Structures are given as structure tokens and as C-alpha cells.
Amino acid sequence: MAIEINQTVKIMFEVKIDGVIVDGSRSNKPFEFQFGTGQVIAGLEKRIINMKAGEIADIFVPASEAYGEYDPAGIQTLPIEQFAGIDDLKVGMQIQAQDENDQPIQFIVKEIGEKEITVDFNHPLAGKDLEYKIKIDSLL
């Protein structure tokens, strides 16, 4: 039986970028998600929809169907005053905050100046093609 929308899917997986493992199943426990509800990237769902329990596949998901292309407009410079209260601010730090509409946002600190902080609003995997090794553990 192939995967259906809203079905619980358990997978064992490994993700590589440029041949380097960046994520995968932890402690040999399958990752569980509801298919078709946006819990995993659309490019992966699109490529596993016809798989069945027990099947194994190598799957390539281009950046455009993963976390999107890298957008240079995502780099912004903000006044240092907006970071008041963050004592250990450092380059590379990922910060979660809220935008003006109280929606969650995440960004990475790229550069710290005397009066300004340069941040990157792109997802850390934006612009990266993903190589998956997937085993459909079970379909519930």
C-alpha cells in the first residue's frame, strides 16, 4: 500500500549535503510524521509518495524544493539597540524572535559592528541540494 495524505509515516533517514552527513535518524529510532501536512519538506514528500513499508531509496531534492534558493535580500543590517538584553551575542548565533506581527522568525548573526548587526534571514540550508537515503519503516 502506498502512502496516503494524513497517514503516519515512520522513516529511517540520512541527509547529506555535498557528500557530508548533516542530519539523520537519531538513536536508530525512526522519524515519525503525518504525510501531506507540511511536517517535512515538500520535495521529499513528492518523492516518497509511491513508496511502501520496507522500501529503501536514494532521493535527491534540489534546493528549490527543499529550503529554497539563497536570497541575498535576506541579509539585513539592524541597529544594535534591537539586540539589547542579549548578553552573549556572537557571530554565528541563531536567534529566534518575533516580527512586527508577532510571527516567529529566525535569523543568524553574520557580523557585529559598533552600531549595527548584520543578520541573515535565510534558512541555514537555503541554496543547498539535499541527498537523502530513506527507508520507509512503517505506515500507520
Task: Determine, yes or no, domain membership for 3.
Answer: no
Shared domain check, 56 and 23: yes
Shared domain check, 64 and 106: no
pLDDT > 90: percent of the chain: 76
CATH of the domain at 26: 3.10.50.40
Shared domain check, 43 and 17: yes
How does DSSP assign the chain, residue by residue?
----TT-EEEEEEEEEETTEEEEE-STTPPEEEETTTTSS-HHHHHHHTT--TT-EEEEEE-GGGTT----GGGEEEEEGGGGTT-TT--TT-EEEEE-TTS-EEEEEEEEE-SSEEEEE-S-TTTT--EEEEEEEEEE-
Shared domain check, 109 and 88: yes
Average pLDDT over residues 26-38: 89
Q: What range does the domain containing 116 cover? A: 72-120
Task: Determine, yes or no, domain membership for 53.
Answer: yes
Average pLDDT over residues 83-110: 89
Task: Determine, yes or no, domain membership for 2.
Answer: no
Number of domains in the chain: 2
pLDDT at 90: 94
Shared domain check, 87 and 37: no
Whether pLDDT at 27 is above 80: no
Shared domain check, 20 and 60: yes
Region of 132 (left: φ > 0; alpha: ψ -120 to 50; beta: rest) is beta
Residues 36-63 pLDDT 10s: 999 999 999 999 999 999 999 999 999 9
Average pLDDT over the chain, rounded to an integer: 92
Task: Determine, yes or no, domain membership for 20.
Answer: yes
CATH of the domain at 111: 2.40.10.330
Dist. CA 51–CA 98, nearest whole Å: 38
Shared domain check, 61 and 14: yes
Ranges of H-type helices in the chain: 42-48
| pTM score of the predicted model | 0.80
pLDDT at 13: 95
Task: Determine, yes or no, domain membership for 1.
Answer: no
Average pLDDT over residues 126-137: 95
